[in-house]
Amino acid sequence: MPMPLPTFDDVLAAAARIAPHAHTTPVLHSSALDALAGCVLHFKAEPLQRTGAFKFRGACNAVWALDDRTAARGVVTHSSGNHGAALALAARTRGIECHVVVPEGANAAKLVNITRYGAHLHTCAPTIAAREAAAARVQAETGASLIHPYTHPHVIAGQGTAAMELLNAHGPLDALVAPVGGGGLLSGTAIAAAATAVDCRIYGAEPEGAADAADSLAAGERRVDFVPDTVCDGLRGALGEPNFTLLRLHAAEVLTVPDAETLSAMRLLWQCLKLVVEPSSAIALAAILRHRERFAGLQVGVLLSGGNVDLDALPWGAAA
């Protein structure tokens, strides 16, 4: 039976639940980036969140929402990196076991984060089907609760707290832009905006090489049979069913971006904000720069999702 879709009440409950554990991240500004974009940008700096990404919000909410008996059996997930590290730390804050299924070839920096927080690693083939099968196997063997990286309602609600913080501190905003892979952050953002900023437009930023969210919304049905081809390792997952439903419900629009422009935006953010962001985060700025006409003169919130970069494999090379 599918879980109920999260509501704004769930986002409010998540904010209270994670308050003892998660950071309220700062909002950054850059006059240089405002000039390039032709609008006023408010960057929510989730790379400064615990584990280096917004994912800790949803993972923490899901872990602390478990009753004591269920929590004692631990948690399991599959993740390319950021959600795995977030769930591992969230589990550690509650003193329970965590199992993370990771695809072969996952980002090295993110694997270090997962192990640093004490999770048990399980490796699988780099496909969504393999990840889900391996997670189901570990769940059956351990009795752990599956905390899906983007379809779990407590995860979605937890992710929505980032946009809620941004809107409460710097609203009203005309638009919010967030990366979209599986859709946890963007759907949580849409829930928060619908309740607190009804005139705010919601945009997702998605790689051209993994544009299933854009294709799904255009078709009116999920189109998730694809092989991702993008440097944005955190955005290779297929759009989830509840996430698709929420994005349609709140009239979100998805803008696609080529990887080359995402990497240029990544470098700009490092230079102008002095903030380490990963490609899956920088794509939000890249979408704005690619579609300046949509945002001209507006007040725009930008969810910078994470900053877990493999520093031994920077995309602009040693000469930079």
Residue 133 lies in a domain: yes
Label residue 115 left, alpha or beta by phi (over 0 means left) and psi (-120 to 50 means alpha). alpha
**Does residue 249 sit in the same domain as residue 262?**
yes
**Whole-number pLDDT of residue 157:** 98
Cβ neighbours of residue 209 under 8 Å, at least 6 residues apart? Answer: 228, 229, 230, 259
Going residue by residue through the chain (320 aa), what tens digit of pLDDT does each one get? 677 899 999 999 999 999 999 999 999 999 999 999 999 999 999 999 999 999 999 999 999 999 999 999 999 999 878 899 999 999 999 999 999 999 888 777 778 889 999 999 998 988 878 988 999 999 999 999 999 999 999 999 999 999 999 999 998 999 999 999 999 999 999 999 999 999 999 999 999 999 999 999 999 999 988 888 999 988 988 999 999 999 999 999 999 999 999 999 999 999 999 999 999 999 999 999 999 999 999 999 999 999 988 888 888 764 44
Number of domains in the chain: 2
Same domain, 112 and 20: no
89 and 226 in a common domain: no
Residue 263: Cβ within 10 Å count: 19
- Same-domain check for residues 258 and 202: yes
My answer on whether 195 and 299 are in the same domain is: yes
Q: Which of 95, 111, 146 is the last residue of a domain?
A: 146
Beta bridge partners of 102: 123
The answer to whether position 299 is within a domain reads yes
**Smallest Cα–Cα separation from 153: which of 304, 305, 25, 13?**
13
Where among 78, 111, 146 does a domain terminate?
A: 146
0.85 exceeded by pTM: yes
107 burial via Cβ count (<10 Å: 0-12, 13-18, 19+):
buried
Same domain, 250 and 178: yes
User: Rounded to 5, what percent of the chain is helix, strand, coil?
Assistant: 50, 15, 35
Of 146, 174, 201, the domain-final residue: 146
Does residue 314 belong to any structural domain of this protein? no
Q: Do 136 and 43 fall into the same domain? A: no
The answer to whether position 320 is within a domain reads: no
Residues of the domain holding 99: 56-146
Residue 310 belongs to a domain:
no
- Distance of alpha carbon 306 from alpha carbon 84, whole angstroms: 13
Whether residue 168 contacts residue 142, with contact meaning beta carbons closer than 8 Å, is answered with: no
The residue written with tokens 């599959």 in the block is 78
**Is 98 found in the same domain as 15?**
no
**pLDDT for the residue 161:** 98
CATH number at residue 96: 3.40.50.1100
Q: Could you tell me if 192 and 292 lie in one domain?
A: yes
In a domain, 72, yes or no: yes
Centre a 10 Å sphere on the Cβ of residue 274 and count the other Cβ atoms it contains.
Answer: 9
246 lies in a domain?
A: yes
Note whether 272 and 141 are same-domain residues: no
- CA dist 317 and 312 (Å) reads 9
162, part of any domain: yes
pLDDT for the residue 317: 65
- DSSP for 122-149? EEE-SSHHHHHHHHHHHHHHH-PEE--T
Shared domain for 119 and 199, answered yes or no, is: no
Does one domain contain both 122 and 242? no
